[in-house]
Structure 1
Amino acid sequence: MASSKAVYDVIVIGAGIEGSSSAYNLVKDGKKFPLPHTRGSSHGQSRITRYAYDFDFYVRMMVDAFPMWATLAQEAGEDFFLNAGVLDIRSSVQSANKVVRALSTYDIPHELLTAKELRKRFPALTLQDTDLGVYDPSGGILMADRALAAFQKVFKQLGGTLHDNEAVISVKPGSPAKVVTSRAVYAASSVVIAAGAWAGRFASALGLRLPLQPLYWSVKPGQEADHHWSNFPCFIDSRGEEMGGFHCYGLPCLEYPGLFKIAQLVVASLRGQEVAVPTNPDHRDRLDEDDAWVEEQVLKLVKRTFLGVEPKPAIKELCMYTNTPDSHPIIDRHPQHRNIIIAAGFSGHGFKLAPAVGKLITEMVSGKPLSYNVKSFSIGRFDSPAKL
């Protein structure tokens, strides 16, 4: 195995959206490094981006992320954002007001709409009269593959080196730290671990690996316009989660003609049993349990929420979900090895936040004042400290 004689400023493990954004921001900051690559959770055509959150620290990061996405699009000469808007559906005034307060903290335009107002504006919806929606007109769809490619394109234009198809075997703490791959041993002053579902191989206390199953539902003939992204927003359905159940999200017709996507995060309890399914990231298409009940749960959501939709999904896809016990990511230094930064557990939040995450990691590496309150992202919030 070859050994690199150079000591790089930074090595980023993982070239998904967080690793690529980190590398992009770091090379802009003047750092030199290779980028060993591992498959991530950033595949696919589309992701939701939004300001609408019920945690104000995410809204604060999105205040930076939106203009940073626009800067990247300009630098890469690539348009990857569709302003479809985002609707967060809630079942209680208290829950909806939490989102409203977070948005109001940063003067983000939004509307709080009743079920009657929602049905009038979006004819594809059928809701309970007690339901509410927080509408975020600035949100929409990020074309995921194109956005990821844009980060990597500009990164390479600025002199960064991407090492693709080079498996990372281990990370050895020290000064400098060393990254052992299938081809060489690299040394760097700092290492950033942003390896998605593979991060658990290099660091502990990163939480659960959870599957997310998107289902694409056919729109009935004549109903396509009501479900198209130009007339129907992305949506977050928080009603089930409010009652201790399932969290769902969806995107309007875009990826496949006449199909819109609904995805259900399998993190709750069903019939008193934990339903999170640990999944090997090297075999992401294999599920160890019968997943028919997932489809049943999403079907119930479709029936109670949408008009003009066929009763069965047309396409099923399995995505890798990497999360922590409290559903907030880890963005922190290793407690013993301060030149190793761990960025993992982003699923559900990470793609839209990526530019701000890259900015934060660059500040950590460079020793600059941090732009965001990182208390909710610390490793120390968990009972067991992380170890390599």
Structure 2
Amino acid sequence: MTTTREYDCIVIGAGVQGSFTAYQLTKNNKKTLLLEQFALPHTRGSSHGQTRIIRKAYKQDFYTHMMEESYELWAQLERETGIQLYRQTGLLLMGPKNSQNYQDLKNSLQRNKVPMVLLTRDNFSQHIPNMKLIEGHEALVDITAGVLYADRALRSVQFQKLGGVIRDKEMVTNISPGPVVTVSTNAGVYRAKSVVITAGPWANKLLTNTGLQLPLQVVKINVCYWKEKVPGLYSMQQRFPCFILTEGEESSEDIYGLPSNEYPGLVKLTPDRHFVLDCHPTYSNIVIGAGFSGHGFKFGPVIGKLLSELTVGQVPTYDLSPFRITRFNTKTKSAL
């Protein structure tokens, strides 16, 4: 027998973005339900695993500005829970001298006054032991960067303590838009004034009945591993940094590195690799957070805040133009 429940807000998807959105809504005294189709915790999305890079190094100023607050919100969560979620290791950025990507990153850090150290082949080994800088390459260290303990961080967003409700193992089977949105699951029917969709690879499936489909490409990431000749040589305990190689002879794509074990997962890519943070173009009480393109975890607290602001009708803290759905020229169809 199904049951009907009334809420102010329903958040679908209990990954890092959905969890922080539910947390922010509950802090704003909204009666909030967080739905998750799998048993928690799970490894079928992109919020699991031991660690994530946290950094301010972005070519786009809007990401760097958002990360300023994200660092503060992660620190606030650490204070609230008494759990260490962040470890400062620095981030090593490397790339060819003539690389536009590398130069753009360096210029952004300098422009935004992010503490950094410029490295040359002469002083490289003093800062990064056991490694050599490739001939013709430049490098720098973003001193503020480090590692987020991902699984630990996700477990720390305990919005239930604020009065929120979480239901896992409930798959959403239908969303019926309207002034009050009806959300049906395999276990019940719920109604809310607003719904937030942060469902990762399943976003488009949930949006089907709303007449909207986003240009999201779902890919399974590959994780490479090289065994250390000397165990622990490149560990966080030795303060070996995270690293990004902006490009090289083998690849024109960025190559990321973490001094830890990692696990494969699903990544949702938008064509421009920027997020989707917007209201549905037809139904303003359906808010969408999607397409985090493999670099969204560290933004979790500030994205949760932004999606909460959109949900309750507040002016967003940041200019969301880079994240609007309209940039895709996506056409909506009537769901009637």
Tell whether the structures are fold-level matches, with TM greater than 0.5.
Answer: yes
- Cα distance between partner residues in 2 of 1:92 and 1:375: 32
Q: How does 1:63-142 map to 2 (within 5 A)?
A: 63-92=68-97, 94-142=100-148
Residue 51 of structure 1 deviates from its aligned partner by 0.8
Q: Verify: 1:354 aligned to 2:300, yes or no.
A: yes
Residue 347 of structure 1 deviates from its aligned partner by 3.2
Q: 1:243 to 1:328 in 2, by over 3 A?
A: farther
Match of residue 224 from structure 2: 215
CA deviation map 1:32-68 (0-9, x unaligned): 1211113532111111111111111110110100010
SS at 1:179's partner residue?
A: strand
The answer to whether the Cα contact below 8 Å between 1:205 and 1:386 also exists between their aligned partners in 2 is: no
Q: How does 1:305-384 map to 2 (within 5 A)?
A: 317-384=263-330
Residue 227 of structure 1 deviates from its aligned partner by 4.4
The answer to whether the Cα contact below 8 Å between 1:334 and 1:386 also exists between their aligned partners in 2 is: no
CA deviation map 1:14-41 (0-9, x unaligned): 0000000111111111111211113532
- Cα distance between partner residues in 2 of 1:249 and 1:11: 35
| Aligned mate of 1:192, from 174, 190, 196 | 196
Q: 1:166 to 1:214 in 2, by over 3 A?
A: same
- Cα distance between partner residues in 2 of 1:117 and 1:373: 40
Q: Verify: 1:47 aligned to 2:55, yes or no.
A: no
- Cα distance between partner residues in 2 of 1:179 and 1:114: 57
Match of residue 58 from structure 1: 63
Residue 243 of structure 1 deviates from its aligned partner by 8.8
> Residue type of the partner of 2:4?
S
Aligned residues: 322
- Cα distance between partner residues in 2 of 1:114 and 1:228: 23
SS at 1:2's partner residue?
A: coil
Match of residue 18 from structure 2: 19
- Cα distance between partner residues in 1 of 2:311 and 2:271: 26
Unaligned 5+ segments in structure 2 are: 39-44, 208-212
- Percent of pairs identical after alignment? 39
| Aligned mate of 1:205, from 207, 214, 218 | 214
Match of residue 32 from structure 1: 31
> Residue type of the partner of 1:341?
V
> Residue type of the partner of 2:67?
M
Match of residue 210 from structure 2: none
The answer to whether the Cα contact below 8 Å between 2:11 and 2:196 also exists between their aligned partners in 1 is: yes
Residue 386 of structure 1 deviates from its aligned partner by 5.2
TM-score of the superposed pair, with normalisation by structure 1: 0.78
Q: Verify: 1:236 aligned to 2:235, yes or no.
A: no
- Cα distance between partner residues in 1 of 2:254 and 2:104: 17
SS at 1:21's partner residue?
A: helix
CA deviation map 1:262-310 (0-9, x unaligned): xxxxxxxxxxxxxxxxxxxxxxxxxxxxxxxxxxxxxxxxxxxxxxxxx
- Cα distance between partner residues in 2 of 1:325 and 1:179: 29
- Cα distance between partner residues in 2 of 1:327 and 1:353: 14
SS at 2:64's partner residue?
A: helix
CA deviation map 1:317-343 (0-9, x unaligned): 532111111111101111011100110
> Aligned-residue CA RMSD in angstroms?
2.0
- Cα distance between partner residues in 1 of 2:19 and 2:332: 24
The answer to whether the Cα contact below 8 Å between 1:236 and 1:250 also exists between their aligned partners in 2 is: yes
Q: 1:386 to 1:330 in 2, by over 3 A?
A: farther
Q: How does 1:260-271 map to 2 (within 5 A)?
A: none
- Cα distance between partner residues in 2 of 1:87 and 1:144: 20
The answer to whether the Cα contact below 8 Å between 1:13 and 1:194 also exists between their aligned partners in 2 is: yes
Q: 1:106 to 1:181 in 2, by over 3 A?
A: same
